[in-house]
């Protein structure tokens, strides 16, 4: 990417470069139009007909000439503002002569529009790209200056965004435009607080793929070998009466009855009893998740809960021990007793060992993110003290702690063949981080693009991570203590693992950033609400589109694929190094708005080239293998057939090696597997 580029842009301008950003889709006006350029959007808008999924980068010259031709007073059209399906200009609002105070290139004059989905700033400067921000991405709106304010650009509006940005727009007092913009933004950026529908319910684009069908609970349980003699799938929560934050389909030990499960649920916080997340295909060691026991200050106990944990241990015939992994620091677990919670007593839970993983609370994580935002935006501050300032945020230390706890779980499952019960306080924050990351390391299926979508749907969405509350979707409560970057930490942790194992994942970094952008942008219904039950009541699946419809569509899916991916045929467990020396700041996400910290070459363009190259090399290898088999069958008869496969593989490897020498791709082979190593 050009070092002169301004904010990272994910929208229109089919002729500009790509970046790690959110892809774009067609407007309702034309499937192949290419409207004006955009400077800093994570919205989905139109690109050129050559590549409808190609995002753009905001390129701008400091010496750009100001365009003196202002917009007319006529009705605003999509030629002025690129609109997606279902999007409209609110009240035909056009605020002229507004100045965007870009932290990197200085003031940019233009016109400001507000739709029911985004804020759109159209630059008057010839070479400056436009700015587009989804309204749900805005966390806080503040007025700057008053009637007595003096000085240029001292009167305007500040926007604090959830994607690490802060934006400021200066208005001229004599234009009287600030009030209308402020009131409209306040209303549509926080629709739930103003009794308006989320834009996801207005968005009606058509996709060839139904993303809601990506995750089918029964099919996923069958993939893990359920039901079997030890585990069953129960419908006890079909009407969400046992636990309103759990999914309808649950996997529990076969020997349990409905009354027994109700008794266990009554002893667990929020009714979140231990249920199966993942089962080892060979050892039958299991990962189960739940919430804390309601021990309280009187040290209450439940014999049914104690025997239930014993039952989970017993269905794993290879071990006579079970580990209870409590995500919290022990001090927090003890403090929760005063609120009716607590932790298991090893004297009462036979053959159980309790480990505390020391992952801090959601409040600590929120403060850490706040400090990180101050460090990364708009600039990296004092470069001489960058590392010490980064350390002071504790963000990387928190990521290390999460990964370290995950590795302890994976070690117990894979190496000790023992089952593990994972919980924190309520079982929907740190618990989801640990179970999903453990499953990612243990099961190669979750490292595929579709498998990762299933993992998110299963461990986060269906098991009741409070997305709406943690992200503040549509609500004007920027200081709410319940907001916390729990899911961002999970995605960051996944990125850390992909850096250590670049060949093990079918998806790329761009896919992870796209997920984060739409987590906050709320264009799709995937991350709305706090539980499966709430989504059922709000009819999310029937009234909104799934993010996976977009990512899995034929025209988009290649953007999210990793050209280095190697599909290992056998069970392959990853064990990343959870050392602070190996944990890195995810600059492509946290610092992406800074033009000086972007790669100069568009990664997405290079990835597409490598994917095409990989397809060509594979085809050439297959052709050589067929040719070799034909020759061997002619000259060797039956006696040569035994060596055909090995020789063919060698021939294919030679072909790939030869192609790689011409293309810049280095390949290594071993045990019949081909691993591509590409330096970008």
Task: Give catalytic residues, as residue numbers.
Answer: 424
Residue with tokens 């400056």: 128
Residue with tokens 């650009």: 153
Quickly list DSSP for 378-432: S----GGGHHHHHHHHTHHHHHHHHHHHHHHHHHHHHTS--EEEEE-SSSSSHHH
Closest listed residue to residue 585, CA positions, set 423, 376, 377: 376
Cis peptide before 417 (omega within 30 of 0): no
Cis peptide before 227 (omega within 30 of 0): yes
Residues near 204 by Cβ (< 8 Å), separated by ≥ 6?
A: 85, 86, 545
Pairing of strands 419-423, 322-326: parallel
Distance CA 343, CA 354 (A): 9
List, in sequence order, the alpha helices (H) in 254-394: 258-267, 303-314, 330-335, 362-376, 386-393
Distance CA 222, CA 446 (A): 15
Residues near 455 by Cβ (< 8 Å), separated by ≥ 6?
A: 436, 439, 440, 446
Are 423 and 291 within 8 A, CB to CB?
yes
End-to-end CA distance of the chain: 13
b/e per residue 62-84 (b: at least 16 CB within 10 A): eeeeeeeeeeeeeebebebbbbb
List, in sequence order, the alpha helices (H) in 81-229: 178-189, 217-223
Alpha carbon separation from 430 to 4, 53, 399, 438, 564 (Å, rounded):
40, 34, 12, 12, 31
Distance CA 320, CA 351 (A): 7
Sheet of strand 322-326, all strands in order from the earlier edge strand to the far edge:
275-279, 286-290, 419-423, 322-326, 352-356
Residues near 73 by Cβ (< 8 Å), separated by ≥ 6?
A: none
Residues near 658 by Cβ (< 8 Å), separated by ≥ 6?
A: none
Q: What share of the chain is helix, strand, coil (3-state, %, to 5)?
A: 40, 15, 45
Pairing of strands 131-134, 118-123: antiparallel
Are 454 and 322 within 8 A, CB to CB?
no
Are 450 and 565 within 8 A, CB to CB?
no
And the tokens for 181? Answer: 């913009």
Are 171 and 178 within 8 A, CB to CB?
yes
What DSSP element (H or E) covers 515?
helix 509-521
And the tokens for 666? Answer: 């280095």
Local structure of residue 16 (DSSP, 8 states): S
- Could you give the 3-state DSSP secondary structure of residue 463? coil
Distance CA 312, CA 298 (A): 26
């Amino acid at each position: 990417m050009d070092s002169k580029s301004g904010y990272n842009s994910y929208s229109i301008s089919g002729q500009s470069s790509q970046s790690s950003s959110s892809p774009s889709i067609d407007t309702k006006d034309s499937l192949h139009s290419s409207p004006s350029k955009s400077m800093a959007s994570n919205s989905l808008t139109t690109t050129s007909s050559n590549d409808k999924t190609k995002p753009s980068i905001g390129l701008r010259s400091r010496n750009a000439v100001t365009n003196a031709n202002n917009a007319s007073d006529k009705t605003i059209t999509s030629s002025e503002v690129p609109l997606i399906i279902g999007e409209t200009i609110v009240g035909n609002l056009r605020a002229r002569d507004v100045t965007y105070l870009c932290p990197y290139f200085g003031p940019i004059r233009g016109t400001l529009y507000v739709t029911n989905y985004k804020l759109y700033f159209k630059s008057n400067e010839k070479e400056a790209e436009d700015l587009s921000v989804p309204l749900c991405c805005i966390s806080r709106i503040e007025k700057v200056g008053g009637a007595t304010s003096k000085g240029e650009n001292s009167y305007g509006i500040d926007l604090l965004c959830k994607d690490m940005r802060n934006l400021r727009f200066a208005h001229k007092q004599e234009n009287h435009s600030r009030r209308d913009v402020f009131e409209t933004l306040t209303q549509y950026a926080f629709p739930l607080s103003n009794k308006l529908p989320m834009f996801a319910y207005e968005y009606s684009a058509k996709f060839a793929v139904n993303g809601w069908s990506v995750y089918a609970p029964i099919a996923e349980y069958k993939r893990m070998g359920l039901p079997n003699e030890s585990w069953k799938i129960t419908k006890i929560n079909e009407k969400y009466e046992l636990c309103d934050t759990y999914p309808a389909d649950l996997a529990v030990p076969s020997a349990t009855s409905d009354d027994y499960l109700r008794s266990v649920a009554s002893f667990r916080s929020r009714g979140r009893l231990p249920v199966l997340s993942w089962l080892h295909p060979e050892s039958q060691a299991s990962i189960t998740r739940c919430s804390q026991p309601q021990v309280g200050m009187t040290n209450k106990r439940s014999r049914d809960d104690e025997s239930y944990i014993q039952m989970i241990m017993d269905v794993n015939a290879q071990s006579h021990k079970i580990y209870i992994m409590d995500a919290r620091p022990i001090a927090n677990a003890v403090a929760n007793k005063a609120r009716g919670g607590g932790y298991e007593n090893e004297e009462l839970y036979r053959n159980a060992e309790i480990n505390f993983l020391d992952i801090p609370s959601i409040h600590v994580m929120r403060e850490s993110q706040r400090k990180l935002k101050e460090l990364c935006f708009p600039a990296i501050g004092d470069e001489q003290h960058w590392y010490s300032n980064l350390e002071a945020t504790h963000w990387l230390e928190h990521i290390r702690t999460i990964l370290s706890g995950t590795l302890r779980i994976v070690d117990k499952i894979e190496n000790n063949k023992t089952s593990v019960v994972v919980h924190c306080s309520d079982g929907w924050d740190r618990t989801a981080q640990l179970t999903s990351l453990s499953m990612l390391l243990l099961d190669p299926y979750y490292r595929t693009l579709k498998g990762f979508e299933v993992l998110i749907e299963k461990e986060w969405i269906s098991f009741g991570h409070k997305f709406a509350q943690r992200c503040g979707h549509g609500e004007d409560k920027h200081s709410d203590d319940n907001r916390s970057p729990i899911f961002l930490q999970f995605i960051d942790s996944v990125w850390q693992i992909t850096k250590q194992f670049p060949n093990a994942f079918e998806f790329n970094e761009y896919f992870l950033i796209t997920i984060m952008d739409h987590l906050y942008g709320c264009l799709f219904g995937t991350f709305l609400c706090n539980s499966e039950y709430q989504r059922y009541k709000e009819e999310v699946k029937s009234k909104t589109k799934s993010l996976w419809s977009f990512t899995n569509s034929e025209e988009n899916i290649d953007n999210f694929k990793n050209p280095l991916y190697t599909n290992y045929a056998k069970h392959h467990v990853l064990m990343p190094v959870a050392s602070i020396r190996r944990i890195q700041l995810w600059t492509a996400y946290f610092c992406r708005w800074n033009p000086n910290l972007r790669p100069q070459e568009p990664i997405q363009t290079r990835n597409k080239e490598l994917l095409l190259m990989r397809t060509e090399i594979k085809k050439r290898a297959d052709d050589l293998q067929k040719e070799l088999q034909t020759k061997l069958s002619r000259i060797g008869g039956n006696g040569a057939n035994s060596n055909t496969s090995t020789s063919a593989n060698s021939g294919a490897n030679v072909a790939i090696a030869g192609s790689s020498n011409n293309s810049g791709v280095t390949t290594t082979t071993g045990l019949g597997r081909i691993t591509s190593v590409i330096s970008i």
